[in-house]
């Protein structure tokens, strides 16, 4: 089952790249929760909340793209290290960084996404070390 979860998360991330308007929302459960590591309004709920929160972040940039660097199964969870590349609206500066997310799945759908500044923090949150 865990490898299946990795495949679902991988497909979700690929679909989000292909269709930025939908952002992979077909893989999200109706009651999913998205927990960014820093947002004043707290978690977003549902596929619409997820799309809105990511669109809000992406709107701050001329271009905004997130790609998986590595996906690891940890029990039934999937820990993802992601590469972000964004071009500033204020000039030609390109921002490149990494962050991580822990995906919780149930019945083939993503029910929760928790974000962390580093892969190490994501692993520690699920009880492992890098």
CATH number at residue 20: 3.10.450.50
Give domain status of residue 96, yes or no: yes
Q: What is the pLDDT of residues 5-35, one digit of tens each?
A: 999 999 999 998 888 777 788 999 999 999 9
Based on its alpha-carbon atoms, the radius of gyration of the chain, rounded to whole angstroms, reads 14
The reply to whether the predicted model has a pTM over 0.85 is: yes
Q: What is the rounded distance in angstroms from the CA atom of residue 52 to the CA atom of residue 66?
A: 16
Maximum distance among all alpha carbons in the chain?
45
Give domain status of residue 53, yes or no: yes
Give domain status of residue 33, yes or no: yes
Number of domains making up the chain: 1
Give domain status of residue 28, yes or no: yes
Mean pLDDT of the chain: 90
Structural domain for 29, as ranges: 2-125
Give domain status of residue 104, yes or no: yes
Give domain status of residue 130, yes or no: no
């Amino acid at each position: 089952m865990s490898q299946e979860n990795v495949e679902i998360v991988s497909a979700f991330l690929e679909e989000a790249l292909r269709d930025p308007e939908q952002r992979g929302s077909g893989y999200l459960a109706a009651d999913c929760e998205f927990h960014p590591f820093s947002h004043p309004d707290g978690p977003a709920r549902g596929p619409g909340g997820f799309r809105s929160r990511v669109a809000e972040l992406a709107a701050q940039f001329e271009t905004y793209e997130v790609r998986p660097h590595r996906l690891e199964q940890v029990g039934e969870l999937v820990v993802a290290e992601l590469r972000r590349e964004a071009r500033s609206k204020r000039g030609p500066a390109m921002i490149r960084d990494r962050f991580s997310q822990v995906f919780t799945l149930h019945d083939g759908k993503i029910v929760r996404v928790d974000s962390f500044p580093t892969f190490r923090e994501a692993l520690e949150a699920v009880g492992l070390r890098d």
